[in-house]
Amino acid sequence: MKTRLIKVTRQCFLIGWIAMTVLFCAAVMAAQETPKEDTPKEAKAVSVYSGMYSFLKEGEFVQVTVEDDGRVTGFISRYGDGESDKGTFLDQFFKSGKIEGNQLIFTTKVVHGAWFEFKGTIERGDAKTPADEGYFVLKGSLTQSTADVNKKTTSHAQDVAFRKFPATSAP
C-alpha cells in the first residue's frame, strides 16, 4: 500500500510539473511574441522610394513620401508657365496618391488653372548606391492639364523618367 501511495504521489507530482512547465512555456512565448505590425512588409519595403526626384526642368522637383498604408503624399515644385506666373516658383501638393508594389499614381491639386497626373512605376535606376543620383527612377506618363477662364481643359501627356536625388545623411 505504501508503494502504491508513493507511485500515485510521484504521478501526481509529474503531471503537475508537466502542467506547470507547459503554462510557463506558454507565458514565455506570449511575452516574447512581437506585437502585430500595423503595416504590411511591402509598405515598409517601398518606403525607400520616398524622396526628391527631378522634374521637367532644371531646378524643378517632385517630393514623394510613401506612407505606411500605401498612401502617397508629396508635391511638385516647379516654375509657372502661364502669363501671370511665368518664372514664379509654384508648389502643387498631391490631391491623391497611392502605391501598390512599384506602381505609382498621383494627381496634384489645381494651381493657377493647371494640374498634373502621373501614372507609372518606380524602378531601380543605374546608380550603385542610394547616395548616388538615379538610384530609383519614376517612369511613366505625366499628363499636364490646364483650364482657361472659360473652363476649357487642355491636356498634354508625355513619357517621363524622373531620377531620385542622392540620399543625404541626417545631421
Q: pTM to 2 decimals?
A: 0.70
Going by pLDDT thresholds of 50, 70 and 90, the confidence category of residue 150 is: confident
Asked whether the beta carbons of 65 and 73 are under 8 A apart, the reply is yes
**What does the DSSP 8-state code read for residue 69?**
T
Confidence (pLDDT) at 40: 47
Asked whether the beta carbons of 43 and 66 are under 8 A apart, the reply is yes
Cα 70 from Cα 40, distance rounded (Å): 9
How far CA 41 is from CA of 44, 45, 50, 112, 171, in Å, comes to 5, 6, 16, 39, 28
The DSSP element (H or E) to which 27 belongs, if any, is: helix 2-32
Burial class (CB in 10 A: 0-12, 13-18, 19+), 106: buried
Span 4-29, pLDDT tens digits:
555 555 555 555 545 555 555 455 55
Cα 30 from Cα 15, distance rounded (Å): 23
Give the percent of the chain with pLDDT over 90. Answer: 56
Span 61-104, pLDDT tens digits:
999 999 988 899 999 999 988 777 888 899 999 999 999 999 99
Res 37 pLDDT > 50 = no
Span 119-131, pLDDT tens digits:
999 999 999 998 9
* Owner of C-alpha cell 503537475: 16
Cα 161 from Cα 136, distance rounded (Å): 10
Cα 45 from Cα 37, distance rounded (Å): 14
Asked whether the beta carbons of 155 and 136 are under 8 A apart, the reply is no
